[in-house]
Amino acid sequence: FKNANFKVQNLEKTEAKKANPVPLTTAALQIEANSRLGFSSKTTMSAAQGLYQSGHITYHRTDSLNLSNQALAEIANLIKAEFGENYLEVRRFHTKNASAQEAHESIRPTHIDVAVAGKNEYEKKLYQLIRSRTLATQMKNAVVAKTSLYLEADTVPNELFKATGEMVIFDGFLKVYGKSKDTTLPNLQIGDPVKRHILLAKQTFSKPPARYTEGSLVKKLEELGIGRPSTYASIINAIQIRNYVVKGESEGEPRDILQLTLDESNQISEQTISEKTGSTKGKLMPTPVGELVSNFLCENFKDIVDYDFTAGIEEKLDLIAEKKLTRLKMLRDFYGPFSEAIGASAMANRYNSATELGTDPKTGKKIYAKIGKNGGFLQLGENEKESGEKPIFIPLPKGKTVKTVTLDQALKQLELPVLPRSLGYAKDGTELIAANGPFGPFIKAGAHNIALNKINEAENPYHITLETAEALYQKKIDSILADWGDIKIINGPFGPYIKGPAIKPASGKGRARPNNAKIPKDRDPKSITREEAEEILLSSKAPATKKAPAKKTAAKKTPAKKSTTKKATTKKTTTKKTTKS
């Protein structure tokens, strides 16, 4: 293309419409909030719960696209008042999802004229998203002019360069929901010469399929018919709590890219530029534990973890609700094969998750990389029955897995101090001990266990200093406003509350439940006595009493001539179920 002259070989101009969005369902809300606001599913549903409880939005667990007649009228009035009647186009939407229950309206503001709502920034941002989306559903499509320009070089007539541009003619719903830019395209005609400034040839690489984000995973679950509006967030939260996946934080690794440039003076220059590739930020990355569990389930419970099986269960639940299938038949059909699969898996060989890396030259003991329920770790030595000596466990080096860690890296990691380790004593004489527990690293300070931040390197149990640990301990002590042993008043991140003894299950099996109670707003936490704290704990656990509906008394007129005495009858009192709307 050196010394080439370029001209417009062809020009295509078309008008296209950009369709306005449909109303928000639970899945769509989580997808949009993740994409536009960067919210996790848990954050989205928590903010939506706050908005719903405050009466700002309709019920947020729904798969319906319906908007009530009253809502449509209010939205139409607002659009006409703020943007003009030429922006209004009243529409009704119906879900195409066969498994949708449509028990509620779509998610919308209860009062569309309220522009700002919410107690905190999360709620305010989510409300703005819901309001804008709701308005956009009743506005006209946007109209854009698309131009495709084909450029030809006189030195290479069979090769064409294509340039595309877009200009908004009518912004429509983009006025409130979307990005509308005022772009002016050059006024060119076929045959017009075009001056070349620079020509770039850049090396590219094929990319693997993108990993799921929380938003794209919700979308996939909805497509596969897995879960319900009320369970999407809990599914995504559960796989992270169980350490099956973690959210990536890497911005990517630098990679050298070759770039050739043909400048205005017809000189070709070659340079190597560095670009980051493989970013995992915000992506859900499977952990070794997740891979292990997935492989085990796919091998031993292939039918049960199949996508169609899960969607089929949802269909059967719908049939039970419609009284077309009995729950006992459904349970028998499920439990038979499931029980057999459990029996077969119990006989299966336990997954060998240990990798022998080599031998420690100092002790002569073997070093293993293993996977436990909390992730990967290194093990030095084995259980010695004769001597009673136990192995030493240490975490994997940062950024390494059981598959990627090397012997040299493991040996370097073994130089870390052994946990638990004493850091020293606080000013009040309490010994501070750094340790690792089933829920992660913590500081043991007398009767207190203080969780450490895994992300903060200063709180790494292997490197944490006495000063840092003492500051955390003091913060813990300062948060305790009153301490009667089994009952405490604690100033938590959401305000003061009463913490009582944990409630053990009636069966005696399983984990004890927390026993916490909010302190009434009109009470000063520091003035509460132990007896009052006990009363607040008891009252918080007492079941709410329902008021029986008042009986209506109707006065009957009796004829003047006849005087009859009717036998008194006792009316039955029925309690109607209350449903949320």
As for how many domains the chain has, the answer is: 5
Q: 222 and 330: one domain?
A: yes
Contact 120, 46 (CB under 8 A): no
Among residues 453, 431, 427, the alpha carbon closest in space to that of 442 is found at: 453
pLDDT band at 161 (very low <50, low <70, confident <90, very high): confident
* Segments forming the whole domain that contains residue 123: 26-140
Give the active site residue among 52, 59, 87, 473: 59
Instruction: Write down which residue in 118, 140, 162 finishes a domain.
Output: 140
Using the CB atoms, write b or e for 90-101: b if 16+ within 10 Å. eeeeebeeeebb
Among residues 16, 259, 20, 13, the alpha carbon closest in space to that of 134 is found at: 20
Q: 250 and 295: one domain?
A: yes
Percent of the chain with pLDDT over 70: 88
pLDDT greater than 70 at residue 567: no
Determine, yes or no, domain membership for 396: yes
Q: Is 7 exposed, middle or buried (0-12, 13-18, 19+ CB in 10 A)?
A: middle
Question: Where is average pLDDT lowest: 34-48, 500-514, 534-548?
Answer: 534-548
Per the annotation, the verdict on 232 as an active-site residue is no
Q: 185 and 292: one domain?
A: no
Q: 335 and 367: one domain?
A: no
Instruction: Write down which residue in 288, 317, 347 finishes a domain.
Output: 347
CATH of the domain at 304: 1.10.460.10
DSSP character string of 374-413: TEEEEEES---TTT----EEEEPPTT--TTT--HHHHHHH
Q: 131 and 80: one domain?
A: yes
Contact 470, 427 (CB under 8 A): yes
The number of beta carbons lying within 10 Å of the beta carbon of residue 538 is 11
pLDDT band at 545 (very low <50, low <70, confident <90, very high): very low
pLDDT at 129: 95
Which residue has tokens 């709620």?
123
Q: Where are the beta strands (DSSP E) in 403-477?
A: 421-425, 431-437, 440-445, 448-451
Distances (CA, A) of 218 to 262, 286, 316, 576: 46, 16, 22, 36
Instruction: Write down which residue in 387, 416, 445 finishes a domain.
Output: 416
Q: 148 and 129: one domain?
A: no
pLDDT at 96: 65
Q: 75 and 126: one domain?
A: yes
The number of residues in the chain equals: 581
Contact 530, 555 (CB under 8 A): no
pLDDT at 347: 58
pLDDT at 98: 54
Please compute the mean of the pLDDT values over residues 321-329 and round it to a whole number. Answer: 88
Q: 329 and 362: one domain?
A: no
pLDDT band at 425 (very low <50, low <70, confident <90, very high): very high
Determine, yes or no, domain membership for 408: yes
pLDDT greater than 90 at residue 339: no
Determine, yes or no, domain membership for 461: no
CA atoms within 13 A on the CB side of 55: 1
Q: 305 and 340: one domain?
A: yes
Determine, yes or no, domain membership for 46: yes
